Structure 1
Amino acid sequence: IAPYFAVGVIHLISSAILGFGGIYHSLLGPDTLEESFPFFGYDWRDKNKMTTILGIHLGLLGVGSLLLVAKAMYLGGVYDTWAPGGGDVRSITNPTLNPIVIFGYVFRSPFGGDGWVVAVNSMEDIIGGHVWIGVICILGGAWHVFTKPFSWVRRAFVWSGEAYLSYSLAALSLMGFTAALYSWYNNTAYPSELYGPTGPEASQAQAFTFLVRDQRLGANVSSAQGPTGLGKYLMRSPSGEIIFGGETMRFWDLRAPWVEPLRGPNGLDINKIKNDIQPWQERRAAEYMTHAPLGSLNSVGG
């Protein structure tokens, strides 16, 4: 538990410093920085200075992104839930740099099985994306530092402290929704071993757990029907693959390390379901079923 405690203490101390810095820059900064440190001086109405500050921030974000790349490639690696053996820390030696692959995520549909940027399912793609974002942020930051706002930009935006606050809150809102989508659906960027199961994963885990139980009790899971005539344990997806049946069929497109070994070319493999389920898969599914990230009374862990 020591590393987690240390991380918590560092964040606690850092938050106090950041909070004090925010109060200082809000109340005293505009009046004193211009005299003491001209480089850091600013006026909310100074359009050129505001875009320069924007550029510096973009550059810092780019450096932060590339620091993650350095950590993943050269400084010990990162945790990969898809690594052989059930997840492990590994170095990312060959990040994906193909722009068609990286930006293909951005231009995907958010509906159906496409999944927009949340569909990323390999650490190579995640680290490659950070390479691209790091370079773009640094180049964009340099451009904002060394150029002045175009005339249409000067006319289109409101140049005041309150306006900058509103722009920042809107950006934070967008990033918050994106992070929520990631943590809810993506188990590559947010490994379930560390953050708990995704919503779809918990649902599929419940179907899997009861399939294993009833199969041990003698049920023929490949042919058993539910009260509506649909498959009780297994059924067909819209594309014809064999998937888990019941309410969890809406999450049929889930990909998770504990269930992938049971798949074949046509979805779940009946022979593997009957003969190859391993104890670690049962334990992991049972754990994920009982820790569903669902804030409702009808979830097992709700």
Structure 2
Amino acid sequence: MQTYGNPEVTYGWWAGNSVVTNRSGRFIASHVGHTGLICFAAGGSTLWELARYNPEIPMGHQSSLFLAHLASIGIGFDEAGVWTGAGVATIAIFHLIFSMVYGGGGLLHGILFDENVEDSEVLQAQKFKLEWNNPDNQTFILGHHLIFMGVACVWFVEWARIHGIYDPAVEAVRQVNYNLDLSMIWQRQFDFITIDSLEDVMGGHAFLGFAEITGGAFHIVAGSTPWEEKRLGEWSKFKGAELLSAEAVLSWSLAGIGWMAIVAAFWCASNTTVYPEAWYGEPLELKFAVSPYWVDTGDLSDATAFWGHSARAALSNVHYYLGFFFLQGHFWHALRALGFNFKNVTASIGNEQKATFTIKN
């Protein structure tokens, strides 16, 4: 964290990251606890939506964000292929149960386990210490994150292939095999919003899973190979030795999640293959006043939530504005990581006001 030259700086209760920045064990506790909160919110919100669901009104016109996502991946349908919500409550309850498991894990890491994992008696745990300015340490941790994300992509591809997901083109759940066409994947970088093939969607996820797992394995071993022990200082700089800090890593994380939120907003607003009209409502129209926003194009006279808007409108607009503010957080923390002192701004404004007052008097 930026200390402005004061190594003994303390932060208020609201600066939550500062409490765990240099305490690897507590850092893990906060992550696990946060995962538990997300899991609890997902399970509770799904049950809330299911209890309020009215089969006589289109799902996209109700408070059905979680139900819509489950329906899109083929969950909640009966044997005849009609969405009835079958199995949805089970998934929600599993999320609630696992939220308690995550919560317990967070408490264990926060209260019982070592404050710093490097003090642990478990040798494998010691490797996950936090050395923010050490490229080898950071790339080792990054590698594990990449592998987990890659495995999640593979799971999704296999789910679509074995169980099946909802295809709006046939209005039914069907098994989807991935189309691993590298030229198609390259071209879809620029026109993914108009993608209309679930096979192409799964092909992109299959490629991404392979790339992330391969990249993760590389990052795990990249800092421990014999030839790297003799690397020159320039190689260390290439790996980011002079760029890394807790503040910098936080800024990059905010940039990534902010950009993904904005991409998701544009994609959700207009794509009806990944976001079927049956579950999210009609495609939206892009408007611009002070900033971009989307409005509904269908008849929402029967809408029961989101102040008369569709689930698609709520999802797109909220994603866009959350992404926008995440990016502002990125710029803030990136500037602090570069050493910019925001206190100088307020000091300059104060000096200018004093000068103006002196001149007038």
**Identity percentage of aligned residues:** 28
Q: CA deviation at 1:132?
A: 0.6
Match among 170, 174, 191 for residue 255 of structure 2: 170
Q: Match for residue 53 of structure 1? A: 141
**In structure 1, C-alpha distance between the alignment counterparts of 2:122 and 2:240, rounded to whole Å:** 27
Q: CA deviation at 1:29?
A: 5.2
**In structure 1, C-alpha distance between the alignment counterparts of 2:217 and 2:271, rounded to whole Å:** 33
Structure 1: state its 5+ residue gaps: 109-115, 210-288, 296-302
**In structure 2, C-alpha distance between the alignment counterparts of 1:146 and 1:8, rounded to whole Å:** 38
Point out the more displaced range, 45-54 or 120-129.
45-54
1:8 maps to 2:8: no
Classify the secondary structure of the residue corresponding to 2:213: helix
Classify the secondary structure of the residue corresponding to 1:13: helix
Check 1:99–1:82 CA distance in 2 against 1; reply closer, same or farther (3 A cut): same
1:139 maps to 2:214: yes
Match among 120, 123, 128 for residue 198 of structure 2: 123
1:78 maps to 2:161: no
| Higher RCO structure, 1 or 2 (CA under 8 Å, sep 6+) | 2
Match among 54, 62, 69 for residue 150 of structure 2: 62
Q: CA deviation at 1:168?
A: 2.1
Classify the secondary structure of the residue corresponding to 2:239: helix
Q: Match for residue 116 of structure 2? A: 31
**In structure 2, C-alpha distance between the alignment counterparts of 1:60 and 1:66, rounded to whole Å:** 10
Q: Which residue identity does 1:140 align to in structure 2?
A: G
Q: Which residue identity does 2:166 align to in structure 1?
A: Y
Q: CA deviation at 1:71?
A: 1.3
Q: Is the Cα contact below 8 Å between 1:199 and 1:292 reproduced in 2?
A: no
Q: Match for residue 180 of structure 1? A: 265
Check 1:123–1:29 CA distance in 2 against 1; reply closer, same or farther (3 A cut): farther
Q: Match for residue 158 of structure 1? A: 244
Check 1:22–1:199 CA distance in 2 against 1; reply closer, same or farther (3 A cut): farther
Q: Which residue identity does 1:11 align to in structure 2?
A: H
Classify the secondary structure of the residue corresponding to 1:9: helix
Query: What pairs with 1:184-203 in structure 2 (closer than 5 Å)?
Result: 184-200=269-285
Q: Is the Cα contact below 8 Å between 1:184 and 1:199 reproduced in 2?
A: yes
Q: Is the Cα contact below 8 Å between 1:30 and 1:43 reproduced in 2?
A: no
Deviations 1:43-69 (A, max 9, x none): 321432221111111111111111111
Q: Is the Cα contact below 8 Å between 1:97 and 1:129 reproduced in 2?
A: yes
Q: Match for residue 282 of structure 1? A: none
1:89 maps to 2:173: yes
Q: CA deviation at 1:127?
A: 0.5
Q: Is the Cα contact below 8 Å between 2:118 and 2:129 reproduced in 1?
A: no
Q: Is the Cα contact below 8 Å between 1:96 and 1:102 reproduced in 2?
A: no
Query: What pairs with 1:138-287 in structure 2 (closer than 5 Å)?
Result: 138-148=213-223, 150-160=236-246, 162-200=247-285, 205=298
Classify the secondary structure of the residue corresponding to 2:241: helix
**In structure 2, C-alpha distance between the alignment counterparts of 1:147 and 1:22, rounded to whole Å:** 30
Aligned residues: 201
Q: Which residue identity does 1:139 align to in structure 2?
A: T
**In structure 1, C-alpha distance between the alignment counterparts of 2:116 and 2:311, rounded to whole Å:** 51
Check 1:118–1:59 CA distance in 2 against 1; reply closer, same or farther (3 A cut): same
Classify the secondary structure of the residue corresponding to 1:197: coil
**In structure 2, C-alpha distance between the alignment counterparts of 1:164 and 1:30, rounded to whole Å:** 21
Q: Is the Cα contact below 8 Å between 2:135 and 2:239 reproduced in 1?
A: no
**In structure 1, C-alpha distance between the alignment counterparts of 2:107 and 2:260, rounded to whole Å:** 24
Between Structure 1 and Structure 2, the one with more helix by share is: 2
Q: CA deviation at 1:133?
A: 0.3
| TM-score where L is the length of structure 2 | 0.48
**In structure 1, C-alpha distance between the alignment counterparts of 2:141 and 2:107, rounded to whole Å:** 18
Q: Match for residue 77 of structure 2? A: none
Check 1:159–1:293 CA distance in 2 against 1; reply closer, same or farther (3 A cut): closer
Classify the secondary structure of the residue corresponding to 1:133: helix
Q: Which residue identity does 1:124 align to in structure 2?
A: E
Q: Match for residue 229 of structure 2? A: none
Root mean square deviation of aligned Cα = 3.2
Q: Match for residue 44 of structure 1? A: 130
Q: CA deviation at 1:180?
A: 2.1
Q: Which residue identity does 2:172 align to in structure 1?
A: D
Q: Which residue identity does 1:9 align to in structure 2?
A: I
Classify the secondary structure of the residue corresponding to 2:120: helix
